[in-house]
Amino acid sequence: MGTGFLLGYALPQRTPQGQPYYGYLVTAKHVLQDAERLGAQSLVARSADRKTGRPIDFDVDVCGSEGKAHWLGHPKSEVDVAVLPVLVANIKAAGAQVSLLPSDIGCWTLTQMQRVGVLEGDGVFVLGFPLGLVDDVIPAPIVRAGVVARIRDTYADPVRAPLIETAAFPGSSGGPVFIRPEVTSIPDTRAVQESRCIGLITTVYTWDDVAVSQSTNQARVVFVENAGLAKMEPIDRALHIIEADIERRRSSGTLPAFPAVTPQVDRVN
């Protein structure tokens, strides 16, 4: 159980039809690893029917019949990010609406976040399906508010992941995090006046609340509580995987294996 989103990776060359994109499903690595451990060859994704707007489910293959994984995880085991190349035409053929988050104008990397002044205390929105809460009428994610809790140490050492304060639960993993635009700011900081995707939720931090017996002074029950903090992997991690995949496909002559799409049809603004 988890959340994912479709990212359109912008190619450097433009076409007469507009900016081309390659489609990738982005999620937390452990979501796909869990599916593999359960022996699943595909995941059930939900979108909206293009004609009625009602929920429509379709399969997304995570591995082939020979058992080879179709998805690509970040090479570092501690980075919980994975991507899956997606044939957008297949999703459309199933009658589903398709909207891609464009990497060039819809996302901010760590360098861009630092340049515009994203700091602790800035607001964020987190989209996802915590606890598997999926509406049967409108296939829209749940939106939770939060704030950037720690990020300056990530600017100093990009290996470290930022923390955000938000209410995240099982099912939230892989959900995109968007900066919340503001018109005011505290002294000596800049107001971030645009909204961009800056990363995805991967880990929810918990703490142990131990109940101790008054008669024996021994721990009897341990309650695992949500700490209200979550690790956010910057969108850079997903872009690095995608760029390596595109370069590999280009070198092997298989780059056109899945088609690019154009903003007139599939881009979200």
Residue 238, SS3 per DSSP: helix
Q: Say which residue the tokens 């290996």 belong to.
A: 159
Q: How far is CA 222 from CA 170, 189, 213, in A?
A: 19, 42, 12
Query: What whole-number distance in Å separates Cα of residue 127 and Cα of residue 177?
Result: 7
Q: How confident is the model at residue 103 (pLDDT cuts 50, 70, 90)?
A: very high
What integer is the mean pLDDT of 65-88? Answer: 86
What integer is the mean pLDDT of 212-227? Answer: 86
Q: How confident is the model at residue 269 (pLDDT cuts 50, 70, 90)?
A: very low
The pLDDT of residue 169: 86
Contacts of 228 (CB under 8 A, 6+ apart): 165, 166, 167, 205
pLDDT(112) > 70: yes
* 4-266 maps to CATH 2.40.10.10: yes
Q: What is the pTM of this model?
A: 0.85
Contacts of 89 (CB under 8 A, 6+ apart): 259
Looking at every residue in the chain, the average pLDDT score rounds to: 84
Q: How far is CA 181 from CA 91, 119, 147, 214, in A?
A: 32, 13, 12, 50
pLDDT tens readout for residues 161-183:
999 999 888 888 999 999 999 87
Q: How confident is the model at residue 67 (pLDDT cuts 50, 70, 90)?
A: low
Contacts of 167 (CB under 8 A, 6+ apart): 130, 144, 146, 226, 228
